[in-house]
Structure 1
């Protein structure tokens, strides 16, 4: 009898050892992710308390809560270093709002709709991105539609280097910059994606471009470029662009709005959303956006006189800037410093714009490739799946007779000719094996091929 109970006892010990190995101390990154609401709200509450309880500190705390450098005579604003404080507080506020929207509003709604925990988290993240981009895009579109450069890209340069801007334009540009800062924070503290380097590069380049354009009083082109980018991000957050509403396609390959529709099982609406997304992406990022780049290259020199101007009054000083790079940094330190523009600066701005376009082409090629595979009848293979999935495949131990899983993972047994827990699909006399969720078979390619051979399946194509 004792001999009969040994395998069960051994299996229990293996399971306990495996579960114990999964228990680890919470890292600082995990603590930050779990306490985003508390950290952000506490930081803002402390600043607000200092602002209200100590009137002598208000000149220092006010820039965190309101726009700075207001000119009553012209009812407009200019730039300055105090804008950095507003960007910081806006980034902190966006972090807290995002966490509240996801954890307290959208996740409960998604779970109440019958979605499992992981899918509920995904749809909550997509819902927040759609909410933010939808709102900020409408603000930007309103500013563009009511401007003098609506429908005329050449007019974007006609009033440069006039520094004053409206309160709404200033708020819009600073919030967009704060959101980019917050996104850099998010991609470092949350689970890393395979395209982490591309996303980090995109956010850094866009932040540098937007910040420099703000300092150099190029609000108009900033407004146009942001509108062209944000309308796509309403349908697809840049960090999540994946395609296909196919039932067999991973849900993480769906565009923003289409992904939400798929989670809610609106397959037809999902397909329509995906088609709208691709058309919008191509129109804005590969047709209109290059026209903006052409305007920087061709129309800017025709409508903007190269040379240096006074920082405060925008009066022309000289046709040639000093023979050093110091003139480029002058506007960053003081509004009173001369602001200059020449072919070197034009190519620097244009180069950053073209890098962003190059990243868009790279991402769109991935989307088209996956969409083409689905149209041709193949399974959508996500070329940008989360690294967390890959990490789970690599880190989970393999047992010859039993695969142990923790809590939300499904236990899978691979023994002899049987593999319970695997999702088997047979078509035309062949079979393919696909592991679901966190319970996927954690073999490398050689082990996976050997496993498929043992259970009589060919490697899926």
Structure 2
């Protein structure tokens, strides 16, 4: 019987093992803790809140401990107002989990799928979804804050802000507004550390720390009114900024230009005219409207004209005992004023960057937002082996790069070198033209 020697011999066991071993040694991407948190933030937040809610309803004896997580504490029926207390911390904690879940759900389940459905690429859809959430948040809280301010006795009258201090009573709506805003800014510290870092990471982190510390301290010191005014002035800009970015990603250049122009005007008026006027009121009006001295934490009546009963401890009286005395003096005034001025400094730095970009656009038509990271909206391109190559021919790294560069330079959607950012990259994260 003849043996056919024309066909190649079957592969040996060692050769098969070598193929399997080579295929199994592909690099496996290790998930970092940050990525794990981002992936599971909805589950973590909803599970935590669900467990608290289940304990609250299944174990009535524990309701005194779980109720502060879900409703405002320290209601005074005789006066119809709320006062502050340490149980407010539980409400802030549950609000942080709630904001984390709501933000992730809004971005991942609704806004980003909608953005991809209308044709945006993955990175652009993520950016639009993030800005969409910020727009929704500020659309509600800026409107609510302005409503509270407009219904108050200090509407557009900064001197009247200090008239009722240090009264501890506050309406339920204003208390919920202040605690929810505090929870949001604490949650923003979490967000800025789990997202991809951008050029202004430390500036934003500093801003969030200052804002959170200022809000918490002002709440404990019963500076409810000034907190409402500061948040309303700041939120006006934070409402228009994501709107301009959304219009950019959607490609509505004219509408985005209008929104960006409105942003600059509102930024100038709210943050660099009205806000410094508020700071001037603190410097000028506080000594007259809030005489220096120590006041009772329960009756709000002055108990001593000496605003410095000791060297340092009096600054922490409201933190140590909410029913104890609360003192007003030059040190307290300048601590709060310096914190507000530090926010003004950050706003000036950012506004200067925006003005530089706007001037560059008017002069040359070229712009790059110096606050932005490199926002490459193009996905990583897959390099395919040309069909006319022999089967199994190796393609070197240089060949892949050359192929990609050829497509970039000759393809229908040409990508410009990094050194030349033209009008189509207008303002990066703030810009109005849809980048190509």
TM (norm. structure 2) is 0.82
How many angstroms does 1:28 deviate by? 1.0
Q: How does 1:91-170 map to 2 (within 5 A)?
A: 91-170=96-175
Cα deviation code 1:226-249 (max 9, x no counterpart): 00000110112xxxxxxxxxxxxx
Q: Runs of 5+ in structure 1 lacking a partner?
A: 1-12, 237-255, 394-399, 405-410, 426-430, 437-461
How many angstroms does 1:332 deviate by? 1.1
Look up the match of 1:35: 40
Look up the match of 1:246: none
Q: Runs of 5+ in structure 2 lacking a partner?
A: 1-18, 381-394, 421-436
Look up the match of 1:234: 239
Cα deviation code 1:343-390 (max 9, x no counterpart): 11000000000000000000111111111111112421232333797x
Equivalent position to 1:274, from 257, 260, 282: 260
Cα deviation code 1:25-72 (max 9, x no counterpart): 111110000111101100100110111111111111110000000011
Cα deviation code 1:373-411 (max 9, x no counterpart): 11112421232333797xx99xxxxxx96369xxxxxx6
Alignment of 1:339 onto 2:334: no
**Secondary structure in structure 1 of the residue aligned to 2:417:** strand
Paired with 1:310 and 1:285, the residues of 2 have a C-alpha distance of: 34
Paired with 1:75 and 1:403, the residues of 2 have a C-alpha distance of: 75
Paired with 2:419 and 2:127, the residues of 1 have a C-alpha distance of: 19
Paired with 2:46 and 2:356, the residues of 1 have a C-alpha distance of: 43
Alignment of 1:75 onto 2:98: no
Equivalent pairs, count: 379
* Cα distance change on mapping 1:235 and 1:403 into 2, 3 Å: farther
Q: Which has the larger radius of gyration?
A: 2
TM (norm. structure 1) is 0.78
Q: Which one has more relative contact order, counting CA pairs under 8 Å at least 6 apart?
A: 2
* Cα distance change on mapping 1:422 and 1:332 into 2, 3 Å: same
Equivalent position to 2:202, from 190, 193, 197: 197
Q: Which runs of 4+ in 1 moved over 6 A?
A: none
**For the aligned residues, what is the CA RMSD?**
2.5
**Secondary structure in structure 2 of the residue aligned to 1:340:** strand
Paired with 1:229 and 1:62, the residues of 2 have a C-alpha distance of: 32
Q: Tell me, yes or no, if the aligned pair for 2:354 and 2:369 is still in contact at 8 Å.
A: no
* Cα distance change on mapping 1:86 and 1:379 into 2, 3 Å: same
Q: How does 1:285-296 map to 2 (within 5 A)?
A: 285-296=271-282
Look up the match of 1:451: none
**Secondary structure in structure 1 of the residue aligned to 2:297:** coil
Paired with 1:387 and 1:173, the residues of 2 have a C-alpha distance of: 35
How many angstroms does 1:112 deviate by? 1.3
Equivalent position to 1:413, from 392, 402, 407: 402
Alignment of 1:359 onto 2:346: yes
Equivalent position to 2:219, from 194, 197, 214: 214
Paired with 2:372 and 2:396, the residues of 1 have a C-alpha distance of: 29
